[in-house]
Each structure stands twice: as structure tokens, then as C-alpha cells.
Amino acid sequence: MATHGISGNGKIPKQILYTAAAAGVLIAGNAVYKELTKYNLQDKVVLVTGGSRGLGLVLCRLLAKKGAKLAVCARSVDQIERGVKELRDQGAQIIGIPANVQDVTQATQAVNETIRHYGRLDVLINNAGTVQVGPVQTMTMLDFEEAMKTNFWAALYTTFAALPQFKKQNEGRIVNISSIGGKIAVPHLLPYTASKFALTGFSEGLHAELSKSNIHVLTVIPHLMRTGSTRNITVKGDHEAEYAWFKLSDSSSLMAMDVGLSARKIIRSLEYGKSETILGVTAKLATIANGLAPGWVTALLTLANRFLPASKPGGLRAKKGFEAESPKSQGPVAAKTDRASVENNEL
């Protein structure tokens, strides 16, 4: 009796061979096409908000190696100076722009200053962000407003400021750094989650509308990244316990991605014209699970919330992460995040 798919004389039928050959040609052709149409970052002008530290700084390091001309903006003049000096010492062509992109005037000025200096703008990376950790009963309207200003409105302001230049050039690229928190509502991160949901929706819709104008929008959905930024988050509730679970999660190899790997994947997604990239196995599995069985994911998050710290007297007070350090948030695992803080200008 002949084996299924193989003729009686042991030969593979020609139809199968032809199909396999055609598939191979298609795969090879697609790979060649992707390389031929790859976005070349050499001499492209790139503005990175929040580019003086953390993920923004790591992205700038990679962009500089690819020959991009950089503009970075951030609120801290000291951090801008340190970040710009590091990149310039490595040969980068870069300017630093002190700006609070929560303010529409300053956000617009940052974009305009980039265009004035370089004569054009090719890529806008909306990376500036803020994180508040704590139970919802400790959060105020001001906490939600702060998250929305940084994580959503700032990206909106810079995008609207850049669009006239992109349309004038008949080309432009926008990269919006959202979060898995913009796909799935995470307990004890509600201001962050609400603002990232807004950014994700805006970014996805923007891509759909602007593609016809040759303006490409990439939505980035990372899980935790070991940037060292935990020391600059805002903590409420049981400050030490809240900071400990967040920092240890950020330090864990299982829960958090290396920021260098994350940055390389973001740049690669920009170069190959992807409209969305989800970073990390955990984020990918969580997104798939939420799409297939949202009720189960909600149940798991509800269960996880039972193990998160309850508030305590004084929990309404906001502290920075470094102010909430304790023995709970120190040790060999947490040391990974401490090293990342030094490496990525988070101090």
C-alpha cells in the first residue's frame, strides 16, 4: 500500500514538488522585497521624546549607529546634557531640546526646533511616559490627569505638530510606545493603563487614516522592560511593598525584557514598516489569551489583585520609586534594575 502523498514507486508527486518550489520562491521573493523596501535610517532626522534616559536613550544609541540625525527632548536639563554628551562622544549628530511635552506649546516648539535645525523631520518617536503604581483608592483625579497628559496628550501634541511637515514632504513615520497595559487592564496601574489604552487606540486609528498619505504609524506594545526607570515611577499605598513588587517584576528575566533587545526589535519594526509590534512572549501570550478568552484573563487579573499590597495610613502620599526603597526591593534580582539605572541615565 502506498504511503499517503507518495506514489507507489516511492516518488513524491510532481504537484507536491511544484507547490513546495512555488512556496519557496514566494518566501524568498518576499524576503528580497522586504530588504529592497527597507526604510533606510541613514541621515534621517529623528525626534525622540523622553530621549535622554531609559528606553529613549537606548533607541538613540541604535539610531546613531545607523547614521540618523537625532533630536531629543525631555524635562530635565541635566539628563539631556548627560545623554547628549554620551551620544555626541560616540559620534552622533544630535541636539537636545529641554521641553515638557505635556504642554502643547512646548511640545510644538520641540518639533519646530528640530525642523528649524535640520531642515526636515522624518521620524517622530513618542516615547515620553510616566507610571503610577498603587491601588485605585489611593489615586486621585490629578493622578489620572498626569498620566493622560504624559502618556496620551503629549503624543497627540507632537504628532499634530509634525503632521504638516510630513504632509509637505509626502512622507513621515511615527512610532508610539504604548504598553501591554494599553491592551489589558492591569491592577494597581489604572492611571497608566487608562492612558495607554487611549494611546493605543489613537495610534491604531492614526495608522489607518494616514497610510494613504505615505505617513506610517507603528504602535509598540511592550511588556516590562529593564530600563532602570523604576526609581523614577510614582508610588502610592503601601509604598515599600508596592515598589518592591514592581521593581522585582521589572528585574525578573521571566517578566521583563532586556531593554537593548526591545530597542532593536522596535528599530527593526520601524525599518520594515510594521504597523504593530508586540514585544515579549508574555505580552504576546496575554494579548492572544485576551482576544480568545477575555473573561478568563479578567478572572486571572482579579485573582492576582488579591496578592497585591493593600493600602496603609499615609498611602495617599505620592513617593518616587527611589524614596520607597527598602530591603524588600533590594537583593541579587533587583540589582539588575539598579545596574540598568546607571547604564541608561536614570539616576
Residues acting as catalytic residues:
192
For residues 183 and 283, give the distance between their C-alpha atoms in angstroms, rounded to a whole number: 9
Residue pair 99/110 in contact (Cβ under 8 Å)? The answer is yes
CB < 8 Å & 24+ apart, contacts of 246-249: 246/133, 246/321, 247/321, 247/329, 247/334, 247/337, 248/329, 248/333, 248/334, 249/224
In sequence order, which residues have a C-beta less than 8 Å from that of residue 119 and are 6 or more positions away? none
Distances (CA, A) of 288 to 37, 202, 285, 296: 29, 21, 5, 12
Q: Alpha helix locations (H) across 74-188?
A: 77-89, 104-118, 141-148, 154-169
For residues 187 and 87, give the distance between their C-alpha atoms in angstroms, rounded to a whole number: 37
Angle (nearest 5°) at CA 114 between 108 and 119: 120
In sequence order, which residues have a C-beta less than 8 Å from that of residue 5 and are 6 or more positions away? 12, 13, 16
- Amino acid residing at 138: T
Q: What φ, ψ does residue 263 adopt, rounded to 5°?
A: -65, -40
Question: What is the end-to-end Cα distance of the chain in Å, rounded?
Answer: 73
H or E element, residue 224? strand 224-226
CA atoms within 13 Å, Cβ hemisphere of 199: 37
Residue with the three cell numbers 513617593? 319
